[in-house]
Structure 1
Amino acid sequence: MNVEEKIAGEIVLSETPNETLKKWREEFSISKSELAREMNVSLSMISDYETGRRQSPGVNTIRKFVSAMVRIETKHGGTILRRYRSGVPYEALIDIRDYDRDINLKTIVNKIKGVSVSEAPMDRYVRGYTIVNGVKAILSFSYSEYSLLYGWSSQRVIFFTDVKMGRSPMIAIRVHPLKPAAVVYVKADRVDELAIKLSEVENIPLITTEMDTDEISRLISNIK
């Protein structure tokens, strides 16, 4: 089931479709006026559906709602759509993207003002990136779900946020057969010596950055 079918099905089957419709609009951070413009309908129509003043929309109208929201989200960069389509547990995933060509790791590191904290060589190329909440990933991912972090290729940078010492992410990478091209800790409290040692044993560059995740996504999502 794709994202569009999931959203439409949830609205259709909901006992309160007006509230579910509003929930998904807010999930995509779309204003009522923006949705109305995309659908070429009045703002009051959107408001009436969401408040329940207007009879619940039929299937065809719901499809139009969903299609409009997906088009808007795509224009906004498609980050939320990528999260849902990845199959990774949504509560832990912040962003995921695959590139259509090889990107030099140093290009990404320069974009995010990254600092290498290990001796693993940086001279390599990547085909995508994944940004996850480190704590939630460790707590919620099953062993098999870690594979989903790699998208279409393991040659990618995995960013971990909410890192305290940095041991757990590198231990998880150590025991899993798939290995990323590089690991980045976002605003880590500090980087433990064990994490650095594991990155060098696995020959995986370990990098830190003080940049916000939203800015990271913006800068590396469409590298030219």
Structure 2
Amino acid sequence: MSERERDPRGELGEKIAGEVALSDDPGATIRKWRTEFDVSQTTLADELGVSASVVSDYESGRRASPGIGFVRRVVEGLLDIDERRGGGRIRQHARVISAGFESDIVHDLREYAATIPLSRFYDAIDATEVAEGTATTIAGHTVIDSIEAITRLSSEEFYRLYGQSTNRALVFTAVSRGESPLVAMRVVTPTPSAVVLHGMTPESLWEHAPKLARVDGFALAVTDLPLSEMLERLRDLP
């Protein structure tokens, strides 16, 4: 199917509904997606024409598992809210899928209209640089679940994480100390302009990580900003 024929809203709606239907805890899955869309229980309840307590009861499991009719209304409600806000979540999903990845591997993949200073990217996500690279600007970013990417992607698939350009920042989430992402970068050629390890502070970083980054020529930074807030801030970049 061509990009023009694709239906990003429909694809995302089917993904959400499928996850809820197959989940052992449908309420928790609804809560996950509501949070991902940055929609409060009250806002979703107003969209559905129910009280906030109804949404809360389903998400907490106090009510029996929601039927297909309610799940369909929740999905449509989240998508409608997103479209009124500009469609950011729908576009994000479309970018990831068009690059050939599942959203459990790639949280976000963006190309910028123009390059931006790497320092601006750091400021947006409260990142601290621990090793300086050769590039001072980037043209995009990719946010990756490090465990899923390293265990499931081939070297060729890993390279596709670069999108249109290697002049970008790769942000690895689900990082413990940083060994795995930094070792993985040793076998990937060429390397990106910058690597950011999410969920870490400089003190918790693997001691050899800065040296490896310098050897391979990319900048290395860390951030412990909550994932949802980091993704939200990245959506505000040009």
- TM-score (normalised: structure 2): 0.65
CA shift at 1:155, angstroms? 1.7
CA distance in 2: counterparts of 1:100 and 1:111, whole angstroms: 17
| 1:91 matched residue in structure 2 | 104
The aligned counterpart of 2:9 is 4
CA contact (8 A) 2:12 2:93 kept: no
- 1:67 positional shift: 6.5
- Kindly state the Cα deviation for residue 205 of structure 1 after the two structures are TM-superposed: 0.4
Alignment partners' CA distance in 2, 1:150 and 1:122: 15
Q: 1:192 to 1:81 in 2, by over 3 A?
A: farther
Go from structure 1 to structure 2 and tell me whether the alpha carbon gap of 1:25 and 1:218 turns closer, same or farther (over 3 Å shift).
closer
Q: Find the partner of 2:180 among 163, 168, 173.
A: 168
Where in structure 2 are the equivalents of 1:95-114 lying within 5 Å? 95-114=108-127
Secondary structure class of the residue paired with 2:131: coil
Matches within 5 A, 1:23-42: 27-29=33-35, 34=43, 42=49
What count of residue pairs does the alignment treat as equivalent?
Answer: 211
Closer, same or farther in 2 for the Cα pair 1:26/1:217, shift >3 Å?
Answer: closer
Q: How does 1:29-68 map to 2 (within 5 A)?
A: 29=35, 34=43, 42-43=49-50
- Indicate yes or no: 2:195 matched with 1:190: no
1:133 pairs with 2:148: no
TM-superposed CA distance for 1:104, in Å, is 0.5
Match of 1:154 in 2: 166
Is the contact between residue 86 and residue 151 of structure 1 (CA under 8 Å) also seen in structure 2?
no
Aligned letter for 1:165?
A: R
Cα gap change, 1:131 to 1:154, in 2 (>3 Å): same
Q: Secondary structure at the match of 1:130?
A: strand
Corresponding letter in the other structure for 1:170: L
Shift in alpha-carbon separation, 1:4–1:216, aligned structure 2, 3 A: closer
> 2:95, 2:31 → 1: CA distance?
17
Mapped to 1, the partners of 2:148 and 2:191 lie a distance apart of 20
Per-residue deviation at 1:207?
Answer: 1.0
Tell me if structure 2 keeps the 8 A contact 1:92–1:136: yes
Quote how far apart the aligned CAs of 1:105 are: 0.3
CA RMSD of aligned residues (A): 4.2
SS of 1:127's partner is strand
Contact 2:95–2:109 (CA<8 Å) still a contact in 1?
no
Q: Unpaired runs of 5+ in structure 2? A: 1-5
CA contact (8 A) 1:130 1:150 kept: yes
Contact 2:193-2:219 at 8 Å conserved across structures: yes
User: How many angstroms does 1:99 deviate by?
Assistant: 1.8
Return the letter of the residue paired with 2:8: V
2:227 paired residue number: 213
Q: Give the match's secondary structure for 2:110.
A: strand
Distance 1:214 1:77, change over 3 A: farther
**Unaligned regions of 5+ residues in structure 1, if any?**
none
Residues 8 and 93, structure 2, Cα contact 8 Å, conserved in 1: no
Q: CA deviation at 1:8?
A: 6.0
In structure 2, how many angstroms separate the alpha carbons of the residues matched to 1:182 and 1:101? 17
1:70 aligned to which of 74, 79, 87 = 79
Residue identity opposite 2:141 in structure 1: Y
Deviation at 1:153, TM superposition (A): 2.6
Letter in 1 for 2:96: S
Q: What secondary structure does 1:117 align onto?
A: strand
The alpha-carbon deviation at position 183 of structure 1 amounts to 0.5
Q: For residue 3 of structure 2, what is the aligned residue in structure 1?
A: none
